[in-house]
Amino acid sequence: MKRWKQTGKEIYGYVLSVLVFLCVLALFVTGIMSFSKKADARGADTLRDAIRRASVQCYAIEGRYPPSVDYLEENYGILIDRDKYDVFYSGFASNFMPDITVNLHE
């Protein structure tokens, strides 16, 4: 009766296969995480631009910039994911364009 006996080459082949698989998996996960960060950053830019456009639209319709982001949410349909983004909106006066900053929530 012949028993299965693994040689050093076979064990080396198995270990090498597992290591290559783990390296490919690590590269895949790293790529996904990088893509996710870029998408989140682009989402923050898109949100900032949407708030800016809504502010200008408010100025064109009402003759003044909105007093807060909440006003834009209530009256101009801006949707903000507060769990994902921090929005800083500071208006100096109703006739000056407000400073709008959108950061990823950490």
Could you read off the pLDDT of 32-85 as tens digits, one per residue?
A: 999 988 888 898 999 999 999 999 999 999 999 999 999 999 999 999 999 999
> Tell me, what's the pLDDT at 48?
94
CA distance 25 to 40: 23
Query: Which pLDDT does position 56 carry in this prediction?
Result: 94
Identify the pLDDT of residue 106: 75
CA–CA separation, 80 and 87 (whole Å): 8
Q: Based on the number of CB atoms within 10 Å of its own CB, is 76 exposed (0-12), middle (13-18) or buried (19 or more)?
A: middle
* pLDDT at site 4: 64
Q: What is the pTM of this model?
A: 0.70
What does the alpha-carbon distance between residue 72 and residue 7 come to, in Å, rounded to a whole number?
Answer: 71
